[in-house]
Amino acid sequence: MFTGLVEEVGTMQGVTNGEKSMKLTIAAKKVLNNIKIGDSISTNGVCLTVTSFSDSFFTLDVMPETMRKTNLGKLKKGSLVNLERALQVSDRLGGHIVSGHVDGTGKIIDYKDEDIATWLTIEAKSEIIKYIIPKGSIAIDGTSLTVVDTTENSFRVSLIPITKEETILLKKKIGDEVNLECDIVGKYIERFLTFKDTAKENNSKLDMSFLADNGFL
Assign 152 to helix, strand or coil.
coil
What domains does the chain contain, in order, with CATH numbers?
8-85 (2.40.30.20), 104-194 (2.40.30.20)
- What pTM does this model have? 0.85
Q: 82 with 42: CB under 8 angstroms?
A: yes
Phi and psi for 10 in degrees, rounded to 5? -100, 165
Element at 16 (helix H, strand E): strand 8-17
Q: Counting Cβ atoms within 10 Å, is residue 61 exposed (0-12), middle (13-18) or buried (19+)? A: middle
- Residue 203's pLDDT is 64
* pLDDT per residue of the chain (217 residues) written in tens, 0 to 9: 899 999 999 999 999 999 999 999 999 999 999 999 999 999 999 999 999 999 999 999 999 999 999 999 999 999 999 999 998 877 777 888 899 999 999 999 999 999 999 999 999 999 999 999 999 999 999 999 999 999 999 999 999 999 999 999 999 999 999 999 998 888 888 888 888 765 555 566 666 676 677 666 6
